[in-house]
Amino acid sequence: MGVSGCGKSTVARGLAGTVGLRFADADDFHPPANVEKMAAGVPLDDADRLPWLRALAAWTAERAAAGEPTAMACSALTRAHRDVLRGSPAPVAFIHLDGPPEVVAERLAGRDDHFMPPSLLDSQVATLEALGPDEEGVVLDLARDPATLVAQAAAWVTSGVPAAG
């Protein structure tokens, strides 16, 4: 979890490959209207996000029912968003890639293959809610190199992360 450009997709994909999980990028689940809105520089609101988050929870539940554990790159910016994802019968835990917005802004400025423009970073930072003490998760420093983050995420996941309720 984290703001756009923090490294979610890279770390989740690496984690999935390292630990043997099915990977999904939540961006691929956005309906065209959400993508168009973000591409135009308009932040999504919770009315835009709710059907998307429900689709993500459904996908996770379907994979769990098939005996297929998952790793997903998803912003999950607020506790309410994470609550929707936790609505899946599968255990859900979060790896929050957190760090200075300046580092993320630098990354976004060099990225031209994504619909999310750098101009929306401030709205995401303003919306972001840290994991609560009762939320299953870990915070990793997004300024670390991808290989280190994948290794840290894999170590955390394989250390026996308690199932979230």
pLDDT, tens digit, 9 for 90 and up, residues 7-62: 999 999 999 999 999 999 999 999 999 989 888 888 889 999 999 999 999 999 99
pLDDT band at 118 (very low <50, low <70, confident <90, very high): low
* String of DSSP letters for 77-91: -SHHHHHHHTTSSS-
pTM as predicted:
0.87
Q: How many CB atoms lie within 10 A of CB 60?
A: 25
Cβ atoms of 22 and 69 within 8 Å: the answer is yes
Structure tokens at 105: 């802004």
Would you tell me which CATH number, out of the four given (1.10.287.3510, 3.40.50.300, 3.50.50.60, 3.30.390.10), belongs to the domain 8-158? 3.40.50.300
Token pair listed for 27 = 């961006």
Select from 31, 159, 35, 34 the least CA-distant residue to 93. 159
Using CA atoms of 13, 53, 59, 119 in order, give the dihedral in degrees to the nearest 10.
-30
